[in-house]
Amino acid sequence: MAKSTAILACELEKAIAAHVAEGPSEFPADKAMQRVYERDAADLRKVLELFRAGNFFGTYAAAWKLDSLPRDVIPQAVWQVLEKSGNKPGRKTRSRQRS
């Protein structure tokens, strides 16, 4: 059985928190790298907000614009929901085809 979007959003939130904690521990003396992790976390929180709102088109677009490291923070199950929704940028959805 597929996980609900609420459960997936919680998993994404936990993954973001782990990513934020990783920055200072991986780069204790490198403030620039810590800022990169903080910026990644802010971008990931935008992805989370869009996902929670059910805006899968916006979620996919925002997630795809991330660098590879923060993109890899997103759980695979979230990517699967986005793929199944069919609301990827550049792809016509059924609702768009009718108009």
State which residues form the domain around 42.
Answer: 5-98
Total domains, the chain: 1
Q: Which parts of the chain register pLDDT below 70?
A: 1-2, 87-99
Backbone dihedral region for residue 54 (phi beyond 0: left; psi -120 to 50: alpha; all else: beta)? left
pLDDT value of position 63? 95
Residues 45-72: tens digit of each pLDDT: 999 999 999 999 999 999 999 999 999 9
pTM above 0.85, yes or no: no
